[in-house]
Amino acid sequence: MKSFRPLDKLKASYLRRWVPLSVLVGIVAGLGAIIFDEAVTYATDFFLGFGAGYIPPSPPSPIVMLMERPYMVPLITTLGGLLSGIIVYKLAPEAEGDGTDVAIDAFHHKKGEIRSRIPLIKSIASAITIGSGGSVGKEGPAAQISAGFGSIISRLLRLNVHDRRIMMATGIGAGIGTIFKAPFGGALLSSEILYKRDFEVEVLIPSFIASITGYSIFASVKGWSPIFVHATIYPFTHPWELIFYAILGIICGLIGILYVKAFHKSKKIFKESKIWKILKPTLGGLLVGLIAISLPQVLGTSYGWLQLVINGDFALLPIEIMFLLIFAKIMATALTIGSGGSGGVFAPSLVIGGMIGGVTWYICHNLFLLPTLSPAPFVIVGMMAFLGGVGKIPIAVILMVGEMTGTYTLLVPSITATILAYVITGDLSIYENQVSTRADSPVHRAGFSVSLLQKLKVKDAMKEDVLTVKPEDKVGDVAKMMMYRRIGGLPVVKDDKLIGIVTLSDVLQVPEEAREKTMIDEIMSKKLVVTYPDESLYHAYGKILGYQIGRLPVVDRAHPERLLGIIARIDLVRKHEMEVRLLLEGG
């Protein structure tokens, strides 16, 4: 029998390890999504249905009903905020706000640790928030629930920190991919959402397995149809329409900047306010309720209204309301999440983007006679572009929205609009705990020595208390001092001005009998290679290696003759090693 090669053994070991673990996470994601989805339905029936005589429309066949008791809405949203606040702040404060961002933070800064109670508390608090009309989505709770179970499983199986992080990140993708019936996009999202401009490649294979498993379980109970449906297929056959899709992407990017800033500003205001923590989501709920009296479309996930826009039903959702809903949804989401309400920001972003797409189509269709007779393509592309920009997940969201709407025929317009929105929003993201690249994460930073040296400055490692010599000092005296103190080099200063540097090698080259007659200015190096306090250790180290020297005088940029300190090769190495050790201990 042919024996395994080392690579074959490695592959077999990897599969034996991660296939069962990923399937386990997927099972939890599927069952958790079913339970959570039912909880949201029951909560909505109780709070809005029983309290206000109103059930928000939902896809795929939204039914719009009149609100029997609109005056009750502020009371209901306030009560929902109060109950959510009590549950969260009394039992698990980390369950507040957006669950996806909390899971991202756990990956980067908490060794993949999520407390065991979080999945249950997050489920209850989020169901109450959504059911009472809070402007949030299901994906944040689903992500945190699955990620939390991934963390729990890894602790029970006593996995190491690295594997625990992979399990937790796998849970993020499985939870979102399952609740949105988008297993492919969800799996990719788990790798992309951790960073603004990078991927966690190791998460991909486990996430694909877990996401497909979770989706299969969830869809077996909830149905296999995409979340949003449309009457026909819209192939991309008019390349000149890319101009209008580009305009849509630019608009999504600009409004995305407003959304992110409003979102984080709201969080800051509530965080800095002296209101009792439990009452903060209560106040947020009240304000959302007041908005909903005039615009009930902001309540809950708003998915039913998004389906109406895809359908082009401007009778039930007039263009004026659609336009107002863009900004009302931004405000309602910022108030709900910013005040500490429990839910996700993924779904509101889709709704805002879809409304932007619908309004853009309406204007372009009437002004420029677009051949596209339905707003659906622009709505779908708007969903992708807006979320891809504000969430920094352009690739995953293109696939996810394609799965959620059952169409991949709009890939070219989607890429055009999404990349533009992504570029325009820059480093702004709705997820505060995202980092730019793996080099910026404590998880990987220790392995990125170059990046670490680029972040550290000369002032972090230099010695300020510097021993100096004068140009008229005798070489013999300086040689004895340098050998006694084990100093490799000294700056030469005259009248408080740096004029050169002398090394131990320089003084030892002078014959012993001539050292008492020779002065330092005769042997010192006058062509100085210097560095500055704000220069990176990377550049300083490059100078040391490039010029084959052991140390650099540190001078003032504005006054190069002014000596501020000195940095030797050993100082730089020690500082780097210390930072790496701290990162490893903290990671």
Domains of the chain: 17-440 (1.10.3080.10), 449-586 (3.10.580.10)
Res 545: pLDDT: 77
Token digits of residue 73 = 């809405």
Query: What pLDDT score was predicted for residue 231?
Result: 59
Q: What local confidence, expressed as pLDDT, does residue 583 receive?
A: 60
| Least reliable range by pLDDT among 69-73, 111-115, 251-255 | 111-115
Task: Give the number of other CB atoms < 10 A from CB of residue 109.
Answer: 16
Distance CA 64, CA 61 (A): 10
Q: Is 9 a residue whose pLDDT tops 70?
A: no
221 or 153, which is more confident: 221
- Determine the pLDDT at residue 429: 94
Under 8 Å between Cβ of 540 and 531: yes
Please say whether the beta carbons of 491 and 566 come within 8 A: yes
Residue 493 DSSP SS3: strand
**Mean pLDDT of the residues in the chain:** 88
pLDDT score, position 201: 86
Q: Which of 81-95, 203-217, 231-245, 287-301 has the lowest mean pLDDT?
A: 231-245
pLDDT at 585 over 70: no
pLDDT, one tens digit per residue, over 411-449 is 889 999 999 999 999 999 999 989 888 767 877 765 556
pLDDT at 441: 80
Q: What is the pLDDT of residues 204-240, one digit of tens each?
A: 999 999 999 999 999 999 999 888 887 567 777 778 8
pLDDT of residue 4: 45
pLDDT at residue number 102: 84
Q: What are the b/e assignments for 28-62, b being 16+ CB within 10 Å?
A: bbbbbbbebbebbbebbeebbbebbebbbbbbbeb
Q: Is the pLDDT of residue 325 over 70?
A: yes
Q: What mean pLDDT comes out for the span 20-28?
A: 93
Identity of the amino acid at 431: Y
The C-alpha atoms of residue 552 and residue 458 are separated, in whole angstroms, by 10
Q: In the prediction, which pLDDT does 12 show?
A: 59
Phi, psi of 492, deg, nearest 5: -105, 120
Which of 49-63, 269-283, 320-334, 366-380 is least confident?
366-380
Q: Which helix (H) or strand (E) holds 498?
A: strand 497-503
CA distance 336 to 352: 15
Mean pLDDT on 398-411: 85
Least confident of 387-391, 545-549, 557-561: 545-549
Q: How confident is the model at residue 369 (pLDDT cuts 50, 70, 90)?
A: confident
Give the pLDDT confidence of 468-517 residue by residue, as tens digits.
999 999 989 998 888 888 888 899 999 889 999 998 888 888 898 888 88
* pLDDT of 197 over the 50 cut: yes
Confidence of residue 26 (pLDDT cuts 50, 70, 90): very high
pLDDT band at 584 (very low <50, low <70, confident <90, very high): low
| Candidate from 233-247, 300-314, 348-362 with smallest mean pLDDT | 233-247
Supply the pTM of this predicted model: 0.77
Q: Do 134 and 336 contact (CB within 8 A), yes or no?
A: yes
Decide if pLDDT at 466 tops 90. Answer: no
Contacts of 532 (CB under 8 A, 6+ apart): 458, 554, 555, 556, 557
Q: How many whole angstroms separate alpha carbon 301 and alpha carbon 475?
A: 80
pLDDT band for position 354 (cuts 50, 70, 90) = very high
For residue 13 the two structure tokens come to: 């070991």
Q: What would the DSSP string read from start to end of 24-82?
A: HHHHHHHHHHHHHHHHHHHHHIIIIIIHHS-----SSS------S-GGGHHHHHHHHHH
Per cent of the chain over pLDDT 90 is: 52
